[in-house]
A and B are shown apart, each in its own frame.
Chain A
Amino acid sequence: AQKVTQAQTEISVVEKEDVTLDCVYETRDTTYYLFWYKQPPSGELVFLIRRNSFDEQNEISGRYSWNFQKSTSSFNFTITASQVVDSAVYFCALSGDQTGANNLFFGTGTRLTVIP
């Protein structure tokens, strides 16, 4: 079965601090896809990144970076020099090619609060 665990329910940081949001996943599929979404206080869901299981390169996009490690089944998300606008709930999600392909399994989310 597919499972995504975001153990951090809530995190608070002071502006300009770096913060890492953890995501651990479980799957038996050899090919799978991992996602991160942001849900700001306004409620919409914003796509941040999609990564397939064959691509273990870390990715950086501005202040955002993602660390994918198959050995530990983790896909962690780091925000560098956090800003108040980063305050949101962040979801990690997983989809597999074999088990329920095109079913998307979300973690329970991490609420990040950036204090000015």
Chain B
Amino acid sequence: EAQVTQNPRYLITVTGKKLTVTCSQNMNHEYMSWYRQDPGLGLRQIYYSMNVEVTDKGDVPEGYKVSRKEKRNFPLILESPSPNQTSLYFCASSLLGLAGKNEQFFGPGTRLTVL
């Protein structure tokens, strides 16, 4: 089944404790992206990647890191999480980016709480 998976789905952590949210897709997509969803703000793009070893900042990259060492994986890293990073996080992928007739597939979401 074609899908985007995220782990963990739920995470409660404390300020300053490094964490990684994994994202994996099995569709051989080149483009992957991370978003955060906050009440009243909709979804905002954190980082995206056009292909292996190619990443770029989205709208709200501060406090986050990403890497794209393999085509299928695009982990989101919070080196020193803070309470303002409490949010619902979505990973997404599409075949060739947002241009062209490319549907973007979203993962199920990761709800992160930073105490």
Contact = CB atoms under 8 A, between A and B. Distances in A.
B101 A50 contact: yes
Interface in A10-48: 33, 35, 37, 43-45, 47
Nearest to B104: A47
Interface of B: 31, 33, 35, 40-45, 48, 50, 56, 58-59, 88, 90, 92, 97-99, 101-106, 108-109
Given A102-B48, A103-B58, A47 B105 contact: yes
Interface residues of A, number: 23
B103 A50 contact: yes
A64 to B, nearest CB: 15
A101 interface: yes
12 contacts: A33-B99, A50-B102, A91-B42, A95-B98, A95-B99, A101-B97, A102-B48, A102-B99, A104-B98, A106-B42, A106-B44, A108-B41
B108 A43 contact: yes
